């Protein structure tokens, strides 16, 4: 029998999800994030896509119990973010891009 490919680590309620998303909106406006994003490079695949094309990705997704902290968010290109979705870094590997 195959193990569940995406076990939820902790139950996450709507209130926590909303709170973490609100924190993410705030963190996106911070100088720390703008500086990180200005490097223009995807944390996962290393593609140099430019600051405007980078999204904020939670390494441990909010829905999996991840928090919006500087240690848990990285700039990611849209293809990586879309591809990773709600997986943990240990469950997913970026494709080579560009």
* 45 is an interface residue for Zn ion by CB under 5 A: yes
* 54 is an interface residue for Zn ion by CB under 5 A: no
* 42 is an interface residue for Zn ion by CB under 5 A: yes
Buried/exposed code over 16-55 (b: 16+ C-beta within 10 A; e: otherwise): eeeebeeebeeeeeeeebeebbeeebbbbbebebeeebbb
Candidates 5-13, 27-35, 58-66, 73-81: pick the segment binding Zn ion (CB under 5 A): 73-81
Closer residue to Zn ion in complex, CB, 23/97: 97
The answer for 91, left when phi > 0, alpha when psi is -120 to 50, beta otherwise, is: alpha
* 33 is an interface residue for Zn ion by CB under 5 A: no
Candidates 20-28, 53-61, 69-77, 84-92: pick the segment binding Zn ion (CB under 5 A): 69-77
């Amino acid at each position: 029998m195959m193990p569940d490919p995406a076990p939820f680590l902790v139950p996450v309620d709507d209130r926590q999800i909303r709170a973490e998303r609100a924190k993410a909106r705030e963190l996106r406006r911070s100088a720390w994030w703008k500086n990180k994003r200005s490097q223009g490079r995807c944390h996962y695949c290393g593609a140099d896509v430019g600051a405007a094309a980078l999204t904020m990705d939670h390494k441990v997704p909010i829905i999996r119990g991840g928090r919006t902290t500087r240690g848990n968010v990285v700039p990611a290109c849209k293809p990586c973010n879309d591809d990773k979705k709600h997986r943990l870094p240990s469950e997913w590997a970026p494709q080579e891009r560009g």
